[in-house]
Amino acid sequence: MSSSDRTRILLGVTGGIAAYKSPDLVRRLAERGADVQVVMTAGARQFVTPLTFQAVSGRPTRDDLWDAAAEAAMGHIELARWAELVLVAPASANFLARLANGQAEDLLSTLCLATDAPMAVAPSMNRLMWSNAATQANVSTLRARGVTILGPDEGDQACGEVGPGRMLEPVELAQRAFDLLVRSRELEGLHVVITAGPTREAIDPVRFISNRSSGKMGFATAQAARAAGAKVTLISGPVALDTPTGVRRVNVESAEEMYQAVHRELPTMDIFISAAAVADYRPPQAQPQKIKKTGDTMHLDLVKAPDILASVSADKRRPFVVGFAAETERVEQHAREKLLKKNLDMIAANLVGEGLAFDCDDNALLVLWPGERRMIERAAKADIARQLVVLIAERYRVREAHASRQRAHV
């Protein structure tokens, strides 16, 4: 295998006793066909020498953002673009905190901010450091941004305590890293359009009809689709969320604006994922001035809002169409009805209300397609999104293969 054919993995090594396992991880990755570039922090050099990594990787170890020779041609940017996967193992509590807060004070943290490659971290720390609320908040932030958290494992620790915090063993880390790389190419070359968040239907200049959608599930799905190699357009209603890295975002407010934005993308759309909570009804028109309180009751006329999902499914340029169903009862029954009525390829259904789904960082989905069902158990929305994207990619390929066979018989 030539060097140009080998998978390019940037391995970050931070300070911690588990760093002694990282040279073995380099070897395990290389056995699977990876070209590994090691980048160390100052703390990591206290446990393992750069020369050790150079010996097992066959590449000079990088550890200095201020290396005049390497940075003459902006070497840290070159490395960030070179990597097909960034894996940090071990990832200390300090590094997770710096990564979550966007700090770029050394070469490794700078690379992590400058890359658009999939990123994974393998935490390693004392059990109490791992369970600390600050660490868990940092991990939640990283998950929400699409960073994969590998581990940690439980067991005996170097400090003599027992519990969660051990870095996963090199053999398992190498396997999971390559699993990530396979998934990162599942949607390569495809244009995925995702709607997210609520819509706001104006009543007058200060009031509107909306719902409790936070947009988190749609944004997590956009991040997962981008990590799977897709070109992603995210059409979002009003939410307070950062745009996922590498994703093109279109902001809208009303159902009509979202409808128009989706249909502008339709000519180049391969997959449409309708995760937005679009209003079913809206006022016929917004009043030009604020409505004054004049009595004990007020009647508000409503008309149907445009059905974006049904319109895309019925279009002659029809992409692979995935709907969402947020239900408060009889989840599977209502989702199957929607799947059939709107002629969808797939639907992801979940139970909402009473602290479930809306305004939460976790979720659970029942995914249905004709003749099949798959349950994605409760987990962080970023993890749920990755599993959903895997299913979408699988079903998209099945549909495309079927269409290809049909064309061959015409």
Mean pLDDT on 57-64: 90
Predicted local distance difference test score (pLDDT) of residue 353: 62
177 and 95 belong to one structural domain: yes
pLDDT-based confidence at residue 398 (cuts at 50, 70, 90):
confident
pLDDT at 270 over 70: yes
Q: Return mean pLDDT, the chain.
A: 88
137 and 154 belong to one structural domain: yes
Secondary structure of the chain in the HEC alphabet?
A: CCHHHCEEEEEEECCCHHHHHHHHHHHHHHHCCEEEEEEECCCHHHCCCHHHHHHHHCCCCECCCCCHHHHCCCHHHHHHHHCCEEEEEEECHHHHHHHHCCCCCCHHHHHHHHCCCCEEEEECCCHHHHHCHHHHHHHHHHHHCCCEECCCEEEECCCCCEEEEECCCHHHHHHHHHHHHHHCCCCCCCEEEEEECECCEEEECCEEECCCCCCHHHHHHHHHHHHCCCEEEEEECCCCCCCCCCCEEEECCCHHHHHHHHHHHHHHCCEEEECCECCCEECCCCCCCCCCCCCCCCCCCCEECCCHHHHHHHCCCCCEEEEEEEECCCHHHHHHHHHHHCCCCEEEEEECECCECCCCCEEEEEEEECCEEEEEEEEEHHHHHHHHHHHHHHHHHHHHHHHHHHHHCC
Predicted local distance difference test score (pLDDT) of residue 170: 94
151 and 201 belong to one structural domain: no
Mean pLDDT on 394-406: 84
201 and 150 belong to one structural domain: no
The predicted-structure confidence for 221-234, as pLDDT tens digits, reads as follows: 998 898 888 999 99
149 and 205 belong to one structural domain: no
Mean pLDDT on 34-39: 93
87 and 33 belong to one structural domain: yes
70 and 148 belong to one structural domain: yes
Which residues belong to the active site?
A: 159
Predicted local distance difference test score (pLDDT) of residue 72: 44
278 and 327 belong to one structural domain: yes
The predicted-structure confidence for 70-117, as pLDDT tens digits, reads as follows: 544 445 678 888 988 999 999 999 999 999 999 988 999 999 998 888
What global pTM score does this model have? 0.68
Structural domains counted in the chain? 2
Mean pLDDT on 248-254: 96
The predicted-structure confidence for 285-338, as pLDDT tens digits, reads as follows: 998 999 898 888 888 899 999 999 999 999 998 999 999 998 888 889 999 999
- Domain-terminating residue out of 146, 166, 183: 183
pLDDT-based confidence at residue 399 (cuts at 50, 70, 90):
confident
- Domain-terminating residue out of 117, 152, 183: 183
For residue 352, give its domain range.
Answer: 191-408
320 and 220 belong to one structural domain: yes
308 and 285 belong to one structural domain: yes
- CATH number at 278 reads 3.40.50.10300
- CATH number at 123 reads 3.40.50.1950
- Domain-terminating residue out of 160, 183, 206: 183
The predicted-structure confidence for 150-201, as pLDDT tens digits, reads as follows: 989 888 777 777 788 899 999 999 988 888 876 667 898 899 999 999 999 9
296 and 248 belong to one structural domain: yes
Predicted local distance difference test score (pLDDT) of residue 80: 86
pLDDT-based confidence at residue 66 (cuts at 50, 70, 90):
low
294 and 379 belong to one structural domain: yes
